[in-house]
Structure 1
Amino acid sequence: MDRAGALAGLNRRLLESFSRRTTDALRAILPLRLALPRIEPFLALNVAKEVRKDAIVIRRAAQALARTAPPDAALARQILEEVRAIDREFLGATARFPVRIEIPYARIDPLRLRRIGRGLDLAYRILESWRDGRRLREALAREELERRLRELLELYAEETQALSHSVQLPGLLAALRERLARGLQRVMNEAALQLARETAHAVHRQRPAASGWRDSRR
Structure 2
Amino acid sequence: EKLARELGVSITTNCDVRRILVEHSEARGVVLADGRVLRADVVIANSDVVTTHRELLSPAVRNERFVRRLEGLEPSCSGFVLMLGVNKRYLQLSHHNIFFSDDYRAEFADLFGRHVPPGNPTIYICATSRSDATQAPEGHENLFVLVNAPYLTARSDWQRDASAYRERVLDVLARYPRAGLEDLREHIICEVMLTPEDFWQKYGANRGSIYGLSSNSRMAPF
Rg larger for: 2
Structures share a fold, TM > 0.5?
A: no
Q: Greater helix percent: which structure?
A: 1
TM interval, short-chain normalised: 0.3 to 0.5
Normalised by the size of structure 1, how large is the TM-score? 0.34
Q: Greater strand percent: which structure?
A: 2
Normalised by the size of structure 2, how large is the TM-score? 0.33
Q: Which has the higher contact order (CA 8 A, sep 6+)?
A: 1
